Amino acid sequence: MSTGYKRVSGDAVEYEVFARKTRVEPLHQVGSVVAPDDDLAMAYARATYDEERWCEMAIVRKDHVIELWQPGEA
């Protein structure tokens, strides 16, 4: 196996994966993936979490989430 590939998009980042099974329920977090860009993150999220029959799936970069407070701070 060759492991010498440098990703042009920089270091891999973490993405949170959200999904729901029906329109009436809200999106909820089902897991996360690590990828160097949005395209690969979408492919990885779909491959990793596709066992359920989701009607919607979305991903968001973890560093784009704006935290109001963290555990222990509230």
Partner 1 sequence: MSLSDLVLSIADNKQMLGLRYAEWATRAPSLEADIAAAAMGLDDLGHSRVLYGCLEPLGADPRGADRESNAASLRNLAYFDEPWSEWSHFVAANAILDSAFTVMIEACVNGSVEVLQHRLRKMLMEERYHFLHGRSWLRSGIDKGPLDRAWREAIEWFGPPDGETALLHREGKLAMGPAELRARLEQQLEMKAPRVEIDWQAWDPVRRRGKPGAIDEHTFGMLRGLEEKKYAPPTAAKQASS
Smallest distance from partner 1 to CB 33, Å: 6
Selection from 7, 4, 2, 6 nearest residue 40 by Cα: 7
For 1-74, strand residue ranges (E) read: 13-20, 28-35, 56-61
Asked if 22 interacts with partner 1 (CB under 8 A), we say no
* Positions in 41-60 near partner 1 (CB under 8 A): 42-44, 46-48, 50
Supply the DSSP symbol for 6: P
Asked if 34 interacts with partner 1 (CB under 8 A), we say yes
Asked if 7 interacts with partner 1 (CB under 8 A), we say yes
